[in-house]
């Protein structure tokens, strides 16, 4: 994985290519195919110092937005949709995997602190 870019994976909606392959399938199989296809969102961080608190907070915010996007919400989604996606298992799993894959101690610590504060 490129050191300056990481991917946040989600179980959100598949892109058009994934949906197109579902045409020849039964309706229920097509729905499963579309909704179970992972979506990858690139997150750039080459401009951040992940050893600093500020850089780590910015990175967590970027990961948060990428996980929302990968799981079916974006900046144009209604606030209720964004909140619902942020509480989903797709979002939680995406954030947990992305933070672990990043392997930046301060980002991990801040993420774990946020998780404890929410719970």
Q: What is the pTM of this model?
A: 0.70
Distances (CA, A) of 31 to 17, 34, 112, 115: 14, 5, 34, 32
Q: What is the pLDDT along the chain (119 residues), one digit of tens a residue?
A: 455 666 655 543 333 333 444 444 455 554 444 455 568 889 999 999 999 999 999 999 999 999 999 998 988 999 999 999 999 999 999 999 999 999 999 999 999 998 676 65
Compute the distance between CA of residue 61 and CA of residue 66 in angstroms, rounded to an integer: 9
Compute the distance between CA of residue 15 and CA of residue 18 in angstroms, rounded to an integer: 6
């Amino acid at each position: 994985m490129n050191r300056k870019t990481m991917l946040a994976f989600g179980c959100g909606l598949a892109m058009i290519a994934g949906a197109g392959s579902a045409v020849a399938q039964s309706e229920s199989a097509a729905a499963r195919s579309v909704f179970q296809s992972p979506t990858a969102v690139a997150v750039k961080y080459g401009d951040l110092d992940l050893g600093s608190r500020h850089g780590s907070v910015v990175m967590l915010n970027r990961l948060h937005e990428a996980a929302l996007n990968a799981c079916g919400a974006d900046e144009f989604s209604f606030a209720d949709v964004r909140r619902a996606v942020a509480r989903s298992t797709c979002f939680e799993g995406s954030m947990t995997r992305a933070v672990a894959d990043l392997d930046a101690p301060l980002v991990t610590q801040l993420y774990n602190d946020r998780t404890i504060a929410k719970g």
